[in-house]
């Protein structure tokens, strides 16, 4: 049995990735919610997650006594355990490309992360407009995402980035959430892809759970004083 340790669904973009992947791929697991607290070393969050991995961060997948942390490592582990489910594209070149864009997400897009933190419940178009006006690095991140998604959708014919749903779509699902929250401007083909992502049962379930949390964590809210 798999256990997936995650944090608040409204805020935790890294938790969203493996959770959506597993739900969408039909991999059964037990969800273990460890709610965010401030990152003091003695916090309950750090103590509980730190007992599973020295990094002290979510997500963490536990399977047969093995703890795997980091969303990309979890995705690779699941692809190894379930090769028949084609969590990566089956064709070698497409698989390499999917790995490349997931690694790019993993290590890049700092301006988007910093300027538009994930907050599914919120709608912050004014913040998004100001960020687009004042932050060239954010505009560059958005342009790269639009170019990437547009090219892949044209190349593979949709509905997902590589045709069928795969790890790459799960990896970029939190980006879809950010673009919606901050109403960042995208062309119609990207907006259509975002709608398809949100309609995926795994993504829809995550969004519904995030909206049901009804929590306001001030340290996760750089742009609001209250809901």
Check which CATH number belongs to the domain holding 44 and give it: 3.40.30.10
Same domain, yes or no: 104 and 193: yes
Q: Quick check: helix, strand or coil at residue 190?
A: helix
212 alpha carbon, distance to own chain's centre: 18
More confident residue, 50 or 141: 141
Whether 227 maps to a domain, the answer reads no
The mean per-residue pLDDT over the stretch 135-146 comes to 98
pLDDT tens-place string over residues 164-212: 999 999 999 999 999 999 999 999 999 999 999 999 999 999 999 999 9
The whole-model pTM stands at 0.95
Residue 92 CB-density burial (10 A; 0-12 exposed, 13-18 middle, 19+ buried): exposed
Q: What band does 54 get if pLDDT is binned at 50, 70 and 90?
A: confident
> What confidence tier does 47 reach under pLDDT thresholds 50, 70, 90?
confident
| Percent of the chain scoring above 70 in pLDDT | 99
| Residue-number span of the structural domain to which 24 is assigned | 2-85+214-220
Rounded CA-CA distance 78/167 in Å is: 10
Same structural domain, 118 and 81: no
Predicted pLDDT of residue 38: 73
The answer to whether residues 67 and 165 belong to one domain is no
Alpha carbon separation from 163 to 94, 106, 167, 205 (Å, rounded):
10, 22, 12, 22
Could you tell me the pLDDT band of residue 39, with boundaries at 50, 70 and 90?
Answer: low
Model confidence over 112-121: pLDDT tens digits?
999 999 999 9
Is residue 80 domain-shared with residue 182, that is, in the same domain?
no
Would you tell me how many other CB atoms lie within 10 Å of the CB of residue 173? 25
Q: Is residue 226 in some structural domain?
A: no
């Amino acid at each position: 049995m798999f256990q997936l340790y995650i944090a608040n669904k409204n805020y935790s973009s890294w938790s969203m990735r493996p959770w959506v992947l597993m739900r969408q791929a039909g991999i059964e697991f037990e969800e273990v919610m460890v709610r965010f607290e401030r990152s003091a070393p003695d916090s309950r969050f750090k103590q509980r997650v730190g007992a599973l991995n020295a990094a002290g961060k979510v997500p963490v997948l536990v399977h047969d006594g093995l703890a795997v942390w980091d969303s990309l490592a979890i995705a690779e582990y699941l692809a190894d355990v379930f090769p028949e489910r084609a969590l990566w594209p089956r064709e070698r070149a497409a698989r390499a490309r999917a790995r490349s864009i997931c690694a790019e997400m993993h290590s890049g897009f700092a301006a988007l992360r910093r300027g538009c933190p994930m907050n599914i419940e919120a709608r912050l178009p004014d913040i998004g407009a100001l960020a687009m006006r004042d932050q060239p690095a954010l505009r560059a991140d958005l342009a790269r995402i639009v170019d990437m998604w547009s090219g892949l959708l044209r190349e593979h014919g949709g509905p997902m980035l590589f045709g069928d749903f795969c790890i790459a779509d799960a990896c970029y699902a939190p980006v879809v959430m950010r673009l919606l929250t901050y109403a960042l401007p995208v062309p119609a083909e990207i907006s259509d892809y975002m709608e398809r992502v949100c309609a995926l049962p795994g993504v829809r379930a995550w969004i519904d759970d995030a909206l049901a949390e009804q929590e306001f964590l001030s340290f996760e809210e750089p742009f609001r004083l209250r809901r």
